[in-house]
């Protein structure tokens, strides 16, 4: 997928859900994975022609795994002239060595978001962009149905009362396959997750389930996404 196509998807999502205002300073949470790096390229490209002026600041929360090298991401941000902050933490040590959590994802997410939000506020940002794409939207809805018994997923724009930050999700209209196509075409320097729980989560189970459903019923994933967009869910104004 070409950058121009990515920008088209992102521009539509940003406009449809009014994600960006004049003089916003937007932090981008950079995990090093394909999704967050695609978002970095997208918002950097959007700045060049979007009618509202905004700034971006990339932030990575380093969980403390010893085998993570962020040099290529640092070089990428320098080449794009994007400010980049790395927050060093001991989250991995706390979760996997001190506490020896058998289900580490929930606690890790809370600690990571806390560190990320602190860094975002210190950087004087008023918004943070998450790299959730279309597949993430549908997977989260299925997880809610299966494990919580409710029809719910995250919304395109979310205001966080505790921090005063607004979360936006500009990759909302991109499928995961589109993201993979983009990073392969442009040789984006993806950093593989070192987390020992990676690939063994409930989300991974639901991802595989959705893949099977879509294989057996072509187009079901797109229909689920349409149902979310048009179902009058909280935080999802009908387009």
Please state the domain extents for the chain.
3-230
Quick one: pLDDT at residue 187? 93
Long-range contacts of 89-94 (CB under 8 A, 24+ apart): 89/61, 89/62, 89/63, 89/64, 89/115, 90/64, 91/61, 91/63, 91/64, 91/115, 92/63, 92/64, 92/65, 92/195, 93/64
Which residues, 6+ apart, have CB-to-CB distance to 38 below 8 Å?
6, 131, 171, 174, 179, 182, 183, 188
Nearest-CA neighbor of 115 among 98, 132, 103, 128? 128
Local structure of 178: helix, strand or coil: helix
CATH of domain 3-230: 3.40.50.620
Quick one: pLDDT at residue 51? 96
Quick one: pLDDT at residue 141? 95
Helices (H) and strands (E) in the chain, counts: 9, 6
The burial class, CB within 10 Å (0-12 / 13-18 / 19+), for 53 is exposed
| Sign, Cα dihedral of 229, 28, 116, 166 | negative
Q: What letter does residue 191 receive in the DSSP assignment?
A: P
Q: How many CB atoms lie within 10 A of CB 66?
A: 7
Whether the CB-CB separation of 163 and 117 falls below 8 Å is answered with yes
Quick one: pLDDT at residue 200? 63
Quick one: pLDDT at residue 140? 95
Q: What is the pLDDT along the chain (239 residues), one digit of tens a residue?
A: 899 999 999 999 999 999 999 999 999 999 899 999 999 999 999 999 999 999 999 999 988 887 788 999 999 999 999 999 999 888 888 888 887 777 777 888 889 888 999 999 999 999 999 999 999 999 999 999 999 999 899 999 999 988 899 999 999 999 999 999 999 999 999 998 777 776 667 888 999 999 999 999 999 999 999 999 998 888 898 87
Separation between Cα atoms, residue 117 and residue 3, nearest integer Å: 29
Quick one: pLDDT at residue 4? 96
């Amino acid at each position: 997928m070409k950058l121009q196509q990515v920008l088209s998807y992102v521009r539509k999502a940003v406009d449809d859900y009014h994600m960006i205002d004049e003089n916003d300073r937007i932090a981008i949470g950079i995990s090093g994975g394909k999704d967050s790096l695609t978002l970095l390229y997208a918002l950097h490209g959007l700045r060049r022609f979007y009618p509202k002026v905004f700034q971006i600041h990339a932030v990575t929360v380093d969980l403390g795994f010893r085998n993570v090298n962020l040099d290529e991401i640092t070089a990428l941000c320098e080449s794009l002239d994007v400010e980049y902050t790395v927050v060093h933490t001991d989250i991995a040590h706390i979760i996997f060595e001190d506490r020896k959590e058998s289900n580490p994802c929930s606690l890790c997410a809370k600690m990571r978001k806390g560190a990320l939000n602190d860094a975002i506020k210190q950087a004087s940002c008023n918004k943070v962009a998450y790299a959730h794409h279309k597949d993430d939207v549908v997977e989260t809805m299925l997880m809610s149905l299966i494990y919580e018994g409710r029809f719910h997923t995250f919304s395109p724009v979310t205001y966080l009362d505790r921090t005063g930050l607004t979360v936006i999700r500009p990759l909302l209209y991109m499928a995961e396959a589109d993201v993979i196509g983009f990073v392969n075409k442009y040789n984006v320097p993806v950093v593989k997750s070192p987390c020992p729980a990676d690939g063994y989560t409930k989300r991974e189970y639901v991802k595989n389930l959705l893949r099977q459903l879509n294989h057996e019923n072509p187009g079901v994933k797109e229909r689920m996404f349409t149902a979310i967009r048009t179902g009058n869910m909280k935080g999802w104004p009908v387009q």
